[in-house]
Chains A and B, each alone.
Chain A
Amino acid sequence: NAGVTQTPKFQVLKTGQSMTLQCAQDMNHEYMSWYRQDPGMGLRLIHYSVGAGITDQGEVPNGYNVSRSTTEDFPLRLLSAAPSQTSVYFCASSSTRLLTGELFFGEGSRLTVL
């Protein structure tokens, strides 16, 4: 079972560059989300989606864009990378938008912005 797949696992960017972190799930989950994890800060929600065509902002959305054109995919776009976006990014999905079930996480994407 693939579960939640994130690519790339590692990426180094220069300030001002753009990139997309890919996330795909094969569990037909309606809910998908992106978190960033920083030392001492825990996980902070960036954006989430409760179904294809529906997205909303989380706690720290600035500098990030998302779209949800299919149930399976939920890419995270950095339009102009900044050093403050150096972090580990996790994509997660759930079978219910009410989050009564488990949130399944990918293995993470480590991003460094120079």
Chain B
Amino acid sequence: AQSVTQLDSQVPVFEEAPVELRCNYSSSVSVYLFWYVQYPNQGLQLLLKYLSGSTLVKGINGFEAEFNKSQTSFHLRKPSVHISDTAEYFCAVSNSGGSNYKLTFGKGTLLTVNP
């Protein structure tokens, strides 16, 4: 079975500061990795995904993430955050083979950007 651990439940930062949201996963097989964002009272939207190839993936709104297989991590970064980035961020994992058609989410990290 796969699982995801988001190491920080809340991350407060000041506007224009850099931010890193941490995600570790566990799986016995190869994985696909995702970051989703949820703005208040809305559904989730895809920020970026890692399927294969380059371990550094770029997403929307200036976010990027790096897949590190040896550390089983997929941390999300942004060099300079804006007030509008305030939202909850979810890391998710699915198995890349077989018949496991399940996307497993972490518990989320609430990013609060202060002026």
Other A-B pairs, 9, CB within 8 Å; known A59-B102, A99-B101: A40-B9, A42-B90, A42-B105, A42-B107, A43-B44, A48-B102, A90-B43, A105-B44, A108-B43
Q: What residues of B have a CB within 8 angstroms of the CB of A97 in the complex?
A: 101
Q: What residues of B have a CB within 8 angstroms of the CB of A62 in the complex?
A: none
Whether, in the assembled complex, A16 has its beta carbon less than 8 Å from a beta carbon of chain B, the answer is no
Binding site for A on B (CB under 8 A): 6, 9, 32, 34, 36, 41-46, 49, 51, 90, 94, 96, 101-108
Given the known interface contacts A40-B9, A42-B107, the answer about A107 and B42 at a Cβ–Cβ threshold of 8 Å is yes
Whether, in the assembled complex, A12 has its beta carbon less than 8 Å from a beta carbon of chain B, the answer is no
Given the known interface contacts A99-B32, A102-B46, A107-B42, the answer about A58 and B107 at a Cβ–Cβ threshold of 8 Å is no
Q: Binary interface profile of A, 76-114, with partner B (CB < 8 Å = 1, else 0)?
A: 000000000000001010000111101101111000000
Q: What residues of A have a CB within 8 angstroms of the CB of B44 in the complex?
A: 43, 90, 92, 103, 105
How many whole Å from A22's CB to the nearest CB in chain B? 15
For this complex, 14 residue pairs linking A to B, each with C-beta atoms less than 8 Å apart, are: A33-B103, A35-B105, A40-B9, A40-B107, A42-B107, A42-B108, A44-B105, A50-B101, A92-B43, A92-B44, A99-B101, A103-B46, A105-B43, A107-B42
- CB <8 Å contact, B102 and A100: no
- CB <8 Å contact, A45 and B104: yes
Q: What residues of B have a CB within 8 angstroms of the CB of A108 in the complex?
A: 41-43
- CB <8 Å contact, A99 and B107: no
How many whole Å from A1's CB to the nearest CB in chain B? 14
- CB <8 Å contact, A45 and B43: no
Given the known interface contacts A40-B9, A43-B90, A108-B43, the answer about A103 and B107 at a Cβ–Cβ threshold of 8 Å is no
State in angstroms the CA–CA spacing of A59 and B104 once bound together. Answer: 9
Q: What residues of A have a CB within 8 angstroms of the CB of B94 in the complex?
A: 98-99
